[in-house]
A and B are shown apart, each in its own frame.
Chain A
Amino acid sequence: MTSVAETVPGRASTSVHERRPGIRHRIDPWQLLVLPASAYLLLAFAAPLAVMFAESFHAGGGLSLANYDRVLMDSRGLQATANTVRYASWVTFGCVLLGVPTAMAMVRASSRTQMIVLIGMLLPMSSSIVVKSFGWMILFRRTGLINETLMWLGVVSAPVALLFTEHGLIIATISLKLPLMVLPVFAVLSQIPGQLGDAATTLGAGPVYRFRRVTLPLALPGIAVGFAIVFSQTAASYLIPTLLAGGRYPTLSKSIVESYIVSNAALGSAFSVVLLVTVGVVVWLSGRLGKDHQSAR
C-alpha cells in the first residue's frame, strides 16, 4: 500500500509555487514598494525612538543611569510600573476569560447573528474613548445605575466604591478592550473545520475534553494575538486611567506625560523605555505561546 502511494505517477511532482531559480539573487521590483513606508517609519518612528533612548541616559549634563534609578527605585516610579503591569494583566486576563467563550459562541451562531455581534462590537470602537470613559464614570458614581441596582436588589446595603478604584478601572477597561480579544480569536476559530469537533466527539471526547484538546490548542494563535494587542493597548493607555482612576493611581503612561509637563524629557524618556520594554517582553512571550502550541505535538 505504501509503495503504491509513493509510486503513483504525478503525485510527487514539483510544486507550482516553487521559486524560479536565481530569483533570490536579483531584486524583485515589487519589493521596492515597501520603500515609502520604510522611509516614513524610519523618520517618524525609529529616529525619535533612538533620540528618546539616548535622552533617557541623559542627566545632570552627562551620561548616567539616574533616570532609571528614579523610575525603578523611587517608590512612585516603582508603583507606576507595578500598577501598569498589574492593571494590564488583569484586563488581559478578563478579556481572555470573557472573549474566548464569546468567540466560541459566535462561531456556532448563524451568519446573521455573527454580523449583528460584530457590528455591535465594532461600532462603539469608532466613538471616542473620552465619551466612553465618561459613560463609565456616570455608571460608577455612588448614585449611579450600578450602585442603585445593587442596592435595590439588596446585594449591598451601602454604595460600593467603583470610581477612582483599581477594580472599577479594570472592569471599565475590559469593556473597552474586549473586541480586540474577540476578533482575532473569532477569526482563528472560524478557520477550524467543524468536523474536527465532530471527529473528537465520535472518538469519545465530551465537551470539556474537546475544548481542552482540540478547540483551545487550535485557538491559541488567535488568543496570543489578542493577548498581545490587549496588553499593549492597556499598558499604553493614558486617558482611561486618568479619567477613571484619578491622580492617586500612577501608571507609566501617566508618569511619562507628567515628566514631559514639567519639562523633564530625560525622565519621561526613561519611563517610555521601561514601558516599551515591558510591553515588548509580553508581546514576545505571547508570540512564543502561540507559535509553540502551533508546532507543538
Chain B
Amino acid sequence: MLDTVAKLQGVSSIMQPQPIDRAGGQTSEAFLKLEGITRRIEQQTILDDVSLSVEEGQFISLLGPSGCGKTTLLRVASGLAPCDSGTVRLAGMDITGVPAHKRNMGVVFQNYALFPHLSVAENVAFGLKAQRRDRAAIPSIVAECLAMVQLAGFGDRRISSLSGGQQQRVAVARALAVRPKLVLLDEPFSALDRQLREVMQIELRRLLRSVNMTVIFVTHDQDEALVMSDRIAVMNRGRIEDYSDPASIYSRPKSLFAFDFVGLSTRMAARVVAADGDMLTLDTKYGSVRAKGRFYPGTSVIVGVRPESIGPAGDKSDAAGEDRNRLKLWLTDIVFQGSKRHLHFAAQESDRLVAEVNSAAINMFEPDSELSVSWRVQDTLVFPT
C-alpha cells in the first residue's frame, strides 16, 4: 500500500520510513532489543550473555577483533543462527522464534554474497520477487535503488564484471530494496582499498541516514566505527565490554580492552599508593601520577592516557592552574603520521608510552633525549588489571 501511495505522490518509495507497529503502551522500548543472548558451539561459548538495545534510526557499530563473535551476533539477530538462550525483540515483538526469511532484515554479508547467475538488476529484484511484492512496481524500485547507490545503468551487467566497490554497492541496494526494518552490515568495506573505503563510509552513512534506517554495522576497524556510528559496542570474546557514543568510547572507555582496541595509547602498570576520596595517587615506573577513580590503596592497576592528551611540559596547552601530571621520559622515536607525529618513549615491560604532537612543532624534539611531558589529571584513566 505504501508503494501505491508513494507512486501516486510521485515520491520515491524507498525514502519512506517503514511504518512501525509497536505493541501498545511499550513506546519506551528500544527498536531492536537483544537480551541475554548466549550461543555455544561444541562447548565453546561464542556469545556470552550479550544484551544490546538499538533505537530506531540509530547507526550502531559492533567493534571487536577477529573471532570475537560479531558475525555470530548478526546471524542470531537476523535469525540465520539459533541462540541457546536469550531473546530478540524487534519493534516491541518477540521474534526469537521467527524464521530468518520472515524477519525482513536487510543483511550485507562480509563477502557480499551476490548471486553470480543473476544480473545486477536481478540481484536487486531478488527479495522483491521472493516476497511476492507487486510485480509491476519491481522495475522502478530496482532502478531507484541502483540510482541510490550510484549504479544507474548497471542493471544488465554481470556480477563478475563489477569492481569490489561496485559489488559492495549492489549488495547494499539489494538489501535496501525490500525496505527492511533493520539493516545489518558485516564488515562491508573489508575488501576495499583505503581510499575507496573512506569514500564509501561517508556515502553509506549518508544514504542510510536519508532513509532513516536502523543499522547495525560490524567492523574490526576502530576508525571506521568512530567515523560512522551513533553508538559503538566494543566486543571482546563473546561479550560486549562497552556500549556508548564514539566520543565517550574514545575518551572514557569502560574497560582496558576497549581503551586498547580504540587507538594506540599510552598505558602503564601502576600501584595505588593513596586514595583521598576519588583522587588516587599512583606509582608508576616513571614517577608518581594522580587520577580520579575508586580503588583501594595497594591495588595493581593500569593507567591509560590518549596520546593527544599528552604534550611537552611548558608548551601553550600546559596552562598554569590546571591540575596536571608530569613525567620525565626518554624519547626514543619520532614517527611521522601525516599532520601529526607520534613520540615514542622508552617503556618497560608491557608498558607503552606514546604522545601525539603537531608536525609543525617537531623541531623542538630530539630523539634519544630526555623530555618532560604533562597531561591533565582528568584525562588519566585507571583500569583494574
Residues of B within 8 A of A4 (CB): 165, 195-196, 199
7 sample A-B contacts, Cβ–Cβ < 8 Å, listed by A number: A4-B196, A5-B166, A6-B163, A198-B100, A199-B174, A297-B119, A297-B122
Residues of B within 8 A of A6 (CB): 163
Q: In the bound complex, what is the Cα–Cα distance between A205 and B156 (angstroms)?
A: 23
Contacts A1-B169, A204-B102 given: A193-B113 contact, CB under 8 Å? Answer: yes
B104 contacts the other chain (CB 8 A): yes
Interface string of A1-22 (1 = CB under 8 A from B): 1101110101100000000000
Could you tell me which B residues sit within 8 Å of A by CB distance? 75, 78-80, 100-107, 109-111, 113-119, 122, 126-127, 129-131, 149-151, 156, 158, 163, 165-166, 169, 174-175, 178, 193, 195-196, 199-200, 203
A195 touches B196 (CB 8 A): no
Interface segment, one of A52-60, A212-220, A268-276: A212-220
Residues of A within 8 A of B163 (CB): 5-6, 11
The 6 A-B residue pairs with the shortest CB-CB distance, nearest first, are A203-B127, A195-B113, A205-B130, A199-B113, A204-B131, A202-B107
A294 touches B126 (CB 8 A): no
Contacts A5-B166, A193-B113, A213-B130 given: A202-B158 contact, CB under 8 Å? Answer: no
A2 touches B150 (CB 8 A): yes
Residues of A within 8 A of B104 (CB): 204
Residues of B within 8 A of A193 (CB): 111, 113
A204 touches B113 (CB 8 A): no
A132 → B minimal CB distance (Å) = 38
Q: In the bound complex, what is the Cα–Cα distance between A20 and B70 (angstroms)?
A: 45
Q: Which among A4, A199, A293 has the greatest number of chain B C-beta atoms within 10 A?
A: A199
Partner of B115, one of A8, A202, A214: A214
Q: In the bound complex, what is the Cα–Cα distance between A297 and B110 (angstroms)?
A: 24
Partner of A1, one of B102, B116, B150, B193: B150
A209 contacts the other chain (CB 8 A): yes
A196 → B minimal CB distance (Å) = 5
A196 touches B169 (CB 8 A): no
Residues of B within 8 A of A206 (CB): 101, 130
Residues of B within 8 A of A217 (CB): 117
B102 touches A199 (CB 8 A): no
Q: Assuming A202-B175, A203-B178, A297-B156, what are 4 further A-B pairs, CB within 8 angstroms?
A: A4-B165, A8-B196, A200-B115, A218-B116
Beta-carbon nearest neighbor of A10 in chain B: B193
B80 touches A202 (CB 8 A): yes
A95 → B minimal CB distance (Å) = 23
B151 touches A2 (CB 8 A): yes
A200 touches B130 (CB 8 A): yes
Residues of B within 8 A of A201 (CB): 80, 100-101
Residues of A within 8 A of B101 (CB): 201-206
Count A-B contacts at CB 8 Å: 98
Partner of B174, one of A8, A198, A203, A213: A203
B203 touches A296 (CB 8 A): no
Residues of B within 8 A of A294 (CB): 117
Residues of A within 8 A of B156 (CB): 297
Residues of A within 8 A of B150 (CB): 1-2
A202 touches B102 (CB 8 A): no
Contacts A4-B195, A4-B199, A8-B195 given: A196-B127 contact, CB under 8 Å? Answer: no
Partner of B100, one of A2, A5, A202: A202
Beta-carbon nearest neighbor of B107 in chain A: A202
Beta-carbon nearest neighbor of A11 in chain B: B163
Q: In the bound complex, what is the Cα–Cα distance between A213 and B103 (angstroms)?
A: 20
A204 touches B203 (CB 8 A): no
Q: In the bound complex, what is the Cα–Cα distance between A1 and B166 (angstroms)?
A: 9
Beta-carbon nearest neighbor of B196 in chain A: A8
Residues of A within 8 A of B131 (CB): 203-204
Partner of A5, one of B106, B109, B196: B196
Beta-carbon nearest neighbor of B102 in chain A: A204
B225 → A minimal CB distance (Å) = 21
B130 touches A209 (CB 8 A): yes
Q: In the bound complex, what is the Cα–Cα distance between A296 and B116 (angstroms)?
A: 10
Contacts A204-B131, A205-B101 given: A1-B200 contact, CB under 8 Å? Answer: yes
Q: Which among B79, B102, B127 has the greatest number of chain A C-beta atoms within 10 A?
A: B127
A193 → B minimal CB distance (Å) = 6
A196 touches B113 (CB 8 A): yes
B195 → A minimal CB distance (Å) = 6
Beta-carbon nearest neighbor of B131 in chain A: A204
Residues of B within 8 A of A10 (CB): 193
Q: In the bound complex, what is the Cα–Cα distance between A198 and B105 (angstroms)?
A: 12
A198 touches B109 (CB 8 A): yes
B199 → A minimal CB distance (Å) = 5
Q: In the bound complex, what is the Cα–Cα distance between A35 and B158 (angstroms)?
A: 38
Residues of A within 8 A of B78 (CB): 202
Q: In the bound complex, what is the Cα–Cα distance between A201 and B104 (angstroms)?
A: 9
A70 → B minimal CB distance (Å) = 47
A1 touches B109 (CB 8 A): no
Q: In the bound complex, what is the Cα–Cα distance between A193 and B159 (angstroms)?
A: 15
Beta-carbon nearest neighbor of B171 in chain A: A199
Residues of B within 8 A of A214 (CB): 115
Q: In the bound complex, what is the Cα–Cα distance between A199 and B80 (angstroms)?
A: 10
B75 → A minimal CB distance (Å) = 8
B201 → A minimal CB distance (Å) = 11
B126 touches A1 (CB 8 A): no
B21 → A minimal CB distance (Å) = 18
Residues of A within 8 A of B151 (CB): 2
B204 → A minimal CB distance (Å) = 10
Beta-carbon nearest neighbor of A196 in chain B: B113
Q: Which among B79, B104, B130, B196 has the greatest number of chain A C-beta atoms within 10 A?
A: B130
Interface string of A35-73 (1 = CB under 8 A from B): 000000000000000000000000000000000000000
B113 touches A1 (CB 8 A): no
A191 → B minimal CB distance (Å) = 10
Residues of B within 8 A of A198 (CB): 75, 80, 100, 107, 109, 113
A200 → B minimal CB distance (Å) = 7
Q: Which of A267-297 contact B (CB under 8 A)?
A: 293-294, 296-297
Q: In the bound complex, what is the Cα–Cα distance between A6 and B127 (angstroms)?
A: 29
Q: In the bound complex, what is the Cα–Cα distance between A26 and B125 (angstroms)?
A: 48
A200 touches B126 (CB 8 A): yes
